[in-house]
Copies of this chain bind each other. A is one copy, B any other.
Amino acid sequence: MSGNSIGKLFSVTTFGESHGLALGAIVDGCPPGLDISESDLQHDLDRRKPGTSRYTTQRREDDVVKILSGVFEGKTTGTSIGLLIENTDQRSKDYGKIKDRFRPMHADYTYQQKYGSRDYRGGGRSSARETAMRVAAGAIAKKYLQVYCGIEVRGYLSQLGPIAIDKVDWSVVESNPFFCPDADKVADMEVFMQKLRKSGDSVGAKLTVVATGMPVGLGEPVFDRLDADIAHALMGINAVKGVEIGAGFDCVDALGSAHRDELTPEGFTSNNAGGVLGGISSGQDLIAHLALKPTSSILVPGNTVDIEGNPVEVITTGRHDPCVGIRAVPIAEAMVAIVLMDHFLRNRGQNGNVQSTTPIIPAEKP
């Protein structure tokens, strides 16, 4: 029944419900000696935090994380790290009215059937609120990867509903409320989101996560492949319905002669593989895309059944994001970082040591 842990050598286990007393995580396997403090974790938590713009839920959570163990005199000790975020804003009254009915596209129905009961307050454990701990844990992985491996994990919004980006300019990603890397699309997105909010509806989104500075050799064929573990980690994020590595579904209609990434002494000529060959990192950038469905909690009335199976109407009046995809950028980064950290630890000091291998060719052609 257990299923709240991820990772083999670097493992993250979480607990906590949307309206419980607190959210928590145990990060196990972080090597000793990493300089880490609460502020390192808070940065990404703030990027995910609700209520930061009028395009996200107005629920107010400070999401202040405490490190309870595993760090001594500013450095990790190599023992398990305990993390805690206390829930402050718990307007349970918002949720009483959906106590006995199942919100369409939510986990209400499946939780009720699986467990025979459920914490209906804000979705309980099924709420995306749980992902705050993934972001906190992921921040530790991100810092370790950056300091010790030179790996940078970053993400952006590649499509908001019908609005797809045309270019990627990392410098603008953090300077707009959408994590949009294309400055020319931000205005359209704002207009679209305002209309959407008025209509009480919601929309889906597509995100992209990129890891640069990748070593060659991460990933354990045949089942613990790097791409397989990335897919597991990203599909495990609330509302995600699709995952692609590199060219993804575009490869369906491609010819082998055009699709293949050729090798030259100066590097690969392209990166349709998304940085993974045979389940092992190639040294090229790791590129993953994910699709998130529209927020299920909307003001538009819908049909459902109650706990007895009688037809009822449901309107979700809680405070929700019109597009959950936007705030999912730091979550997706965190999940990718957790997977990379795990695979890095599984490979350290090996023959074909990912730390010491000199790549036969550089990653990218200039």
Contacts and interface: CB of A to CB of B under 8 A. Distances in A.
A82 B292 contact: no
Contact of A104 (B260, B296, B302): B260
Contact of A302 (B115, B238, B260): B260
Copies of this chain: 4
Nearest to A3: B220
A172 interface: no
A311 interface: yes
Nearest to A196: B255
A29 B1 contact: yes
Nearest to A359: B113
A171 interface: no
Most buried by B among A2, A23, A254: A2
Interface residues of A, number: 157
B255 A221 contact: no
Most buried by B among A220, A227, A234: A220
Contacts of A69: 15-17, 20-24, 125
A360 B28 contact: no
A366 interface: no
A265 B312 CA distance: 10
A347 B116 CA distance: 13
Contact of A349 (B113, B247, B355): B355
Contacts of A22: 68-69, 82, 84
Given A78-B352, A235-B245, A273-B105, A111 B278 contact: yes
Interface in A236-265: 236, 238, 240-249, 251-257, 259-265
Contact of A256 (B202, B217, B248): B202
A66 B8 contact: no
B2 A9 contact: yes
A166 B112 CA distance: 37
A102 interface: yes
A307 B361 CA distance: 10
Interface stretch (A56-64, A174-182, A279-287): A279-287
B256 A295 contact: yes
B161 A252 contact: yes
